Structure 1
Amino acid sequence: MSTALEKEWKRLLAKEEKLLFSADNKKETKLDEKIKEITGKIEEKIPEKLEATLDTAFYKAFLLIFEKGTGVIEKTFKGEELQLEFQVNDFRVDKKATRRSLRKVDAAGKKSKLLNSVVTTAEGIGLGVLGIGVPDIPVFLSMLLKGMYEMTASYGYDYNKKEEQILILRMITAGLADGAEKRKADRMVEEWMGFVPATEGLTFEEEVKRASEALSNAMLMAKFIQGLPVVGAAGGMSNPIVYQKVSQYAALKYKKRYLAAKRQGV
């Protein structure tokens, strides 16, 4: 087996454990305590129905996009080119797995991640200034799924398959989880990829519900603030933060999935 492949595998596992360990052992600083105090006061002003409204909005947006919106999203990026680029880079790895050839595989995903992050920032702040919060959810979710679709295609997988969409949903849930919940959500991703035995089977709708609740919890306060004219720009900043958390986690997992296949000679 290639030495470069094994080294890259070990680097990835160390990076993965660092990400999960930091979630397990996150310590609060004085700034964190102050922020919590401020956010606590804001949370008291958030209408009780807003969380349920967000859950429902994300849930409906997911189902709508998966059913009718994927074709529209596909028009915003060059999926066939990403697939072709992957095939070329994958061929290079099969010929000779070096650190350079392995890094080439995930280069396309990194480029799209950066571009989409910039767009979500502009979209979030722009709508926030106008005092638009909840109505921008389909727009943001489309950008998030666009990034996930690009990453999926960059590693040679088909995001149109229901099974792949379940993985995307689980990655979104795990990417936004914290503490013990992150370990639990990460295990469900690992189960899907076959790295650990499966213990729980959920329907597609249940997977959508979990991802919707994860996004709702991550953006609840921001969407409340974003709905306030002028100060709403601050709430709009949550879009790129959420996008970065999800894409960072997903990039790590897609690379792990690819490297595992190469180590097994697939």
Structure 2
Amino acid sequence: MKMGTALEREWKRLLEKEERMLCSAENKKESKLDGKIKDLTGKIEEKIPEKLSATLDAAFYKAFLAIFEKGTGAIERMFKGDELQLEFQVNDFRMDKKPTKKSLKKLEAAGRKSRVLNSAVTTAEGIGLGLLGIGIPDIPVFLSMLLKGLYEMAAGYGYDYHRREEQIFILRLIAAGLAEGAEKRKADQLVDGWIGLSEEKEAFPFEEEVKRAVSALSGGMLTAKFIQGLPVAGVVGGMCNPVVYQKVMRYAAMKYKKRYLSGKRKNA
């Protein structure tokens, strides 16, 4: 099966988009608005209890382990995995018979609808609990929705999220999706390395992979979770949930697409 010029062009566009994303993260200039937000965030962070960061890390870590060990079944009840697998088989067959950009769009469309719905749920959940002044306790709920979206995307591209290797890939997607600056490229290389898209495949113990993802989530949500713990004002903190969700999912969509296309190119 030949990839076809249409998908080769799509592969090149994807690589260019990826490089723009990485360069943007490395060379991002701080605007006046960013500076003001940074100053405001800094003032808020000064009031955050030192133990809150450790509490947030522990909450995410426990939630990850609980979901991976016992909670996957509960998440699966929130979406139709069998239908996603069947849809992938149909779309993948179409790709093998007629590998065009249109065929690839069918694969991408499968995950796009769920991303919109999941984002809406995380928004409602974050704002609703923010009104009540609930911050840290909503982490298992948010994490379940984040993993639901990533599981749906994995299934939509034909990958088994029950496998430990796939779970490690998902953890690396979270860490890389939230990384900033020069760390973005390093984290991205770890993602590509794990799926054989680069020469190096650096392996960490599973618990270490969880901690890296936890660090990324905690670092990106510490201030927001502190604010979310304040009644009414917590609405602002609750808005962080959909922002983090979308950031991870946009990155994951790009990497799953790259991984799928890479497999097709190897088998061409």
Residues 8-65 of structure 1 show CA distances to partners (whole Å, capped at 9, x for unaligned) of: 1011111111111110111011111111111111110000000111011000000000
CA distance in 2, matches of 1:74, 1:195: 29
Deviation at 1:199, TM superposition (A): 5.2
Q: C-alpha distance in 1, partners of 2:55/2:156?
A: 34
User: Could you tell me the percent identity over the aligned residues?
Assistant: 73
- Matched residue type, 2:9: K
Shift of residue 179, structure 1, vs aligned partner: 0.6
Match of 1:233 among 232, 235, 238: 235
2:11 aligns with: 9
How far apart in 2 are the matches of 1:200 and 1:6? 28
Structure 1 window deviating more from structure 2 (195-204 vs 78-87): it is 195-204
1:29-44 equivalences under 5 Å are: 29-44=31-46
- Alpha-carbon distance, 1:106 to partner: 1.2
Matching of residues 64-83 of structure 1 within 5 Å: 64-83=66-85
Shift of 1:162: 0.4
> How many Å separate the matches in 2 of 1:131 and 1:60?
22
Match of 2:87 among 76, 80, 85: 85
Deviation at 1:195, TM superposition (A): 1.2
From 176, 181, 184, give the equivalent of 1:182: 184
**Aligned counterparts, 1:116-131, within 5 A:** 116-131=118-133
4+ residue stretches of structure 1 with deviation over 3 A?
A: none
What CA distance in whole angstroms lies between the structure 1 residues aligned with 2:33 and 2:74?
42
- String of CA shifts for 1:112-141, please: whole Å, max 9, x gaps: 111111110000000000000000000000
- Give how far 1:99 is off: 1.2
Question: Which residue identity does 1:115 align to in structure 2?
Answer: L
Aligned to 1:204: 206
Q: CA deviation at 1:198?
A: 2.5
Match of 1:151 among 150, 153, 156: 153
1:22 — aligned with what?
24
RMSD between aligned residues: 0.9
Moved more, 216-225 or 256-265: 256-265
- Looking at structure 1, the residues matched to 197 and 13 of structure 2 have their Cα atoms a distance apart, in angstroms, of 17
Residue 113 (str. 1) matches residue 109 (str. 2): no
In structure 2, stretches of 5+ residues that fail to align are: none
Question: How far apart are the structure 1 equivalents of 2:132 and 2:258?
Answer: 41
C-alpha distance in 1 between matches for 2:18 and 2:116: 20
Counterpart residue number, 2:104: 102
Residue 48 (str. 1) matches residue 43 (str. 2): no
Listed as ranges, the matches of 1:207-218 within 5 Å are 207-218=209-220
1:76-114 CA deviation, whole Å, 9 max, x = no partner? 000110010011011011001111111111111111111
Where does residue 164 of structure 2 map in the other structure?
162
The one-letter code sitting in structure 2 at the alignment partner of 1:252 is: M
1:262 aligns with 2:264: yes
SS of equivalent to 2:96:
helix
Instruction: State the alpha-carbon separation in 1 of the partners of residues 149 and 127 from structure 2.
Output: 19
- SS of the residue 2:235 aligns to: helix
Residue aligning to 2:175: 173
- In the alignment, the residues of structure 1 paired with residue 20 and residue 130 of structure 2 have an alpha-carbon distance, to the nearest angstrom, of 34
Task: Report Cα offsets for 1:198-241 as digits up to 9, x if no partner.
Answer: 25320000000110111000000000000000100000000000
Which amino acid is the alignment partner of residue 145 of structure 2? M
For residues 144-195 of structure 1, the C-alpha deviation after alignment (integer angstroms, 9 at most, x for no partner) is 0000000000000000000000000000000000011111111100110111
Give yes or no for contact 1:86–1:154 (8 Å, CA) kept in 2. yes
Report the Cα offset of residue 197 of structure 1: 2.2
Aligned mates of 2:259, 2:77 — CA distance in 1: 27
Residues paired across the two proteins, number: 266
Alpha-carbon contact 2:194-2:201 (below 8 Å) kept: no
Q: What secondary structure does 1:106 align onto?
A: helix
